[in-house]
Copies of this chain bind each other. A is one copy, B any other.
Amino acid sequence: MSILVVGSIAFDDITSPSGSVKNILGGAATYFALAASYFSAVRVVAVVGEDFGPEHENVFRRHGIDTRGIERAKGKTFRWGGSYFDNLNEAKTDFTDLNVFETFHPEIPKEYEDTEFLFLANIQPTLQANVRRKMNGVRLTGCDTMNYWINRTRKELAETLKLVDLLLINDTETKMLAGEPNLPRAANKVLAMGPKALVIKHGEYGATIFFREGSFGIGTHPFRAPTLPIEEVKDPTGAGDSFAGGFMGYLASQTELNREVLKRALFYGGVMGSFAVERFGTERLQSLTREEIDARFQVFRELTHLD
C-alpha cells in the first residue's frame, strides 16, 4: 500500500565527534521517505528551493519514491546546522534558515488523494490538520510534533491530535504535552487528547507503544521494542524520522493492523533508526537492502527475547 509523508526537505550542516559535513540532503520527509521506501510505495509532499537539483531528486527516485508532490518555490531550500558533542542525544542548533519552508502550504496532488497511509512530519499543527482534513480516504494517520509547537501552539495541536490515529514523540515531549512527569500517566493523558496509540521514542533505549482503551481492538497493554547498542554513532540527525519511516512503512505493507503487526512495526522502527545513525545524513538509508534490514530485525529479537 502507499504512504504519503508531508514534511520538510532540507540541506544540513552537521558536526559530531565523528566529523563534519556541509550542505547534505536532510529534512524529516527525506529520512522518513527513504526509511519507509524499503517497505511500501512512498509519496512526498514538501517544498524545496531553486538549489534542489536533479541529483537530490534522484536520491528519492532511486528508491521508487513518488516526488510529484515536491513543490519548487523561488528562493533557497530550508537549511539547518547542528552540532553534537559527547551527549549524542541532543543537538545544539547552530542555525535555522527556513527559506522557502517559512511559507510552506502543503498542496496534495490529485494523484495522491487515494493514499491509504499518511504521516504528518513535524510541521505547524494547523498545516497538519489541514492536510488531514483533505485526505478523507486515509486508513491511518501518524503524526509527529516537537517542543516548539507544544509550547507555542497548544490549542492548534490539540485540534490536530483529534484527527490522527498515532502520535510519535519522545519522552520529554510526552511529559511536556501532558504536563505530567510520570511517563505511563503522561501517556494516558496524551491518549485522552485523541490518538488511538502513542509511540514514545526513548532514543538509545528503544520505544514504547501505549494504546487507548478500545483502539484497534487489542487491549491497553503497552509494548516495548529495543534498539541496538551501537558503537559507531556518527550522526543522530534523522533517527526519529527514520524510526517513524520504518514503523509506518511496515504498517503500510500489512493488510491487517493487529497487535502483532504493531509490535513488529515498532521493531522495524528501531531497526531503521539504528541504521540511520551509522553514517552522516541519509548515507546509510540510501544503501540498505531488505536482507540487511531483516537481519538486524533478528539481532534485535535475539537481543531481547528469552528462548
Q: Restricting to A196-239, which residues have a CB under 8 Å from any CB of B?
A: 202, 204-206, 208, 210, 221-226, 229-231, 233
- Identical copies of this chain, number: 2
How many residues of A are in contact with the other chain, CB < 8 A? 37
Interface residues of A (CB under 8 A from B): 17, 86-88, 181-185, 187, 202, 204-206, 208, 210, 221-226, 229-231, 233, 260, 263-264, 267, 301-307
Pick the contact of A304 from B182, B205, B223, B229 — CB < 8 Å? Answer: B223
| 23 residue pairs bridging A and B, Cβ less than 8 Å apart | A17-B181, A86-B181, A87-B181, A182-B231, A184-B229, A184-B231, A185-B231, A205-B205, A205-B206, A210-B229, A221-B303, A222-B303, A223-B304, A224-B226, A224-B229, A224-B304, A260-B306, A264-B306, A267-B306, A304-B304, A304-B305, A305-B305, A305-B306
Which residues of chain B come closer than 8 Å to A306, judged between CB atoms? 260, 263-264, 267, 301, 305
Q: A304 → chain B, closest Cβ, in Å? A: 5
- Given A184-B231, A305-B306, output 8 extra A-B contacts at Cβ < 8 Å: A88-B181, A182-B233, A208-B229, A221-B303, A222-B229, A225-B304, A226-B226, A305-B305
Return the chain B residue nearest A260 by Cβ. B307
* A210: chain B residues within 8 A (beta carbon): 229
List 6 A-B pairs, minimum CB-CB distance, nearest first: A205-B205, A86-B181, A184-B229, A184-B231, A224-B226, A224-B303
CA distance in complex: A55, B222 (Å)? 40
Q: A307 — nearest CB in chain B belongs to which residue? A: B260
User: How far is the CB of A212 from the nearest CB of chain B, in Å?
Assistant: 15
Give the docked Cα–Cα distance between A183 and B210 (Å). Answer: 27
- Min CB–CB distance A248 → chain B (angstroms): 18
- Please measure, in the bound complex, the distance between the C-alpha atom of A181 and the C-alpha atom of B267, giving whole angstroms: 25
Report the separation of the CA atoms of residues A184 and B301 in the bound assembly, to the nearest whole angstrom: 18
Interface centre among A183, A208, A224 (most CB of B within 10 A): A224
